[in-house]
Amino acid sequence: MSAMITIGYVRSPYLEKFAVPRQPGLAKAAIGHCDLVGECGHPEAVRGLGEFSHIWVIFEFHQTKQQGWKPLVRPPRLGGNRKVGVFASRSTYRPNSIGMSLVKIIAIDHLFVDGKPVNRISVEGLDLVDGTPILDIKPYLAYAESVPDAKGGYADSPPPATKRIVFGQSARDQLAPNTILLIEQVLQQDPRPAYQRDQIGDRIYGVKLDGWNIRFRFATVDEIEVVDVLAL
């Protein structure tokens, strides 16, 4: 089999792996770009793509591929206690470090960066870290890929997003409305490891998101307090 090539890179508000939603579309305020470069940056490569509403982004799990894989994993949806086979999961640790993400197209633009052509596909609902290598882009075909009566096993429904997000006034005053919405949607997913889900108190967590270092704590079981934000 010939080696795969990187056709572009993801530009994302997620500057680190921590707090990235575990599936696409859970944080719809996550707006980013798929920048196709090299020969894939010529406008002919995306001709007709604007007629579709969604795309599959095929990408490489570049931050975890050196750590290898195991046949059994502990999905967060099972509380980190029960093991299932890697092929019954969306684990990032796989024999081939390949993932796929379904996102909504917002716009398609052709531009030049450092004098080189780039096809920029702006998308909504990203769940990928900034700089993720893109291996392929495919249009989503609803008639072939939507299966209304499909079974989802242990992940048959979206995770509940019931936590209340509270911002200190200083933090709120510094943030744009869309950034506030993004923070709310991300934190409602509870980004902590499964074994920490029941812990509350004064421990401060931090995540680099959309140009900010967001510092927060789990004040109660149902409430997350954003205690500070620092510009990066």
> Residue 202 falls within a domain, yes or no?
yes
Statement to judge: residues 19 and 101 lie in one domain: yes
Strands 54-60 and 72-73: unpaired
Final residue in a domain of this structure, among 109, 141, 173: 141
Strands 164-167 and 223-231: parallel
Same domain? 137 vs 168: no
* Domain annotation covers residue 123: yes
Instruction: Please tell me the predicted confidence (pLDDT) of residue 34.
Output: 99
| Nearest in space to 201 (alpha carbons), one of 216, 187, 186 | 216
* Residue 30 located in a structural domain: yes
The verdict on 111 and 202 lying in the same domain is no
Nearest to 70 by CA among 92, 48, 54: 92
Do residues 123 and 26 share a domain? yes
- CATH assignment at residue 220: 3.30.2310
- Reported as a single tens digit per residue, the pLDDT across 129-187 is 999 999 999 999 999 999 999 999 998 888 888 789 999 888 899 999 999 999 999 99
For the cut 70, the answer to whether the pLDDT of residue 1 exceeds it is no
Q: Within this chain, do residues 21 and 113 fall inside the same structural domain, yes or no? A: yes
CA-to-CA distance for 69 and 66, rounded, in angstroms?
9
Question: Are 36 and 122 contained in the same domain?
Answer: yes
Specify whether 136 is located in the same domain as 188.
no
Instruction: List, for residues 178-228, the tens digit of each pLDDT value.
Output: 999 999 999 998 888 777 777 787 899 999 999 999 999 999 988 999 999
Instruction: Kindly state the tokens that stand for 221.
Output: 């079981």
Judged on CB neighbours under 10 Å (0-12, 13-18, 19+), 65 is middle
Domain that holds residue 58: 8-62+97-141
Residue 45, domain member (yes or no): yes
212 occurs within a structural domain: yes
Domain count, the chain: 2
CA distance 44 to 107: 16
36, 107: one domain: yes
pLDDT at 130: 97
136 and 194 part of one domain = no
Q: Are residues 101 and 215 in the same domain?
A: no
Rounded to whole angstroms, how far apart are CA atoms 92 and 99? 8
Domain edge (last residue) among 80, 106, 141: 141
> Do the domain assignments include residue 150?
no
Q: What is the CATH number of the domain that holds 132?
A: 2.40.30.70
* Domain match, 133 and 36 both: yes
Does residue 175 lie within any of the structural domains?
Answer: yes
Q: Does one domain contain both 110 and 201?
A: no
148 belongs to a structural domain: no
Least reliable range by pLDDT among 30-39, 73-82, 124-133, 217-226:
73-82
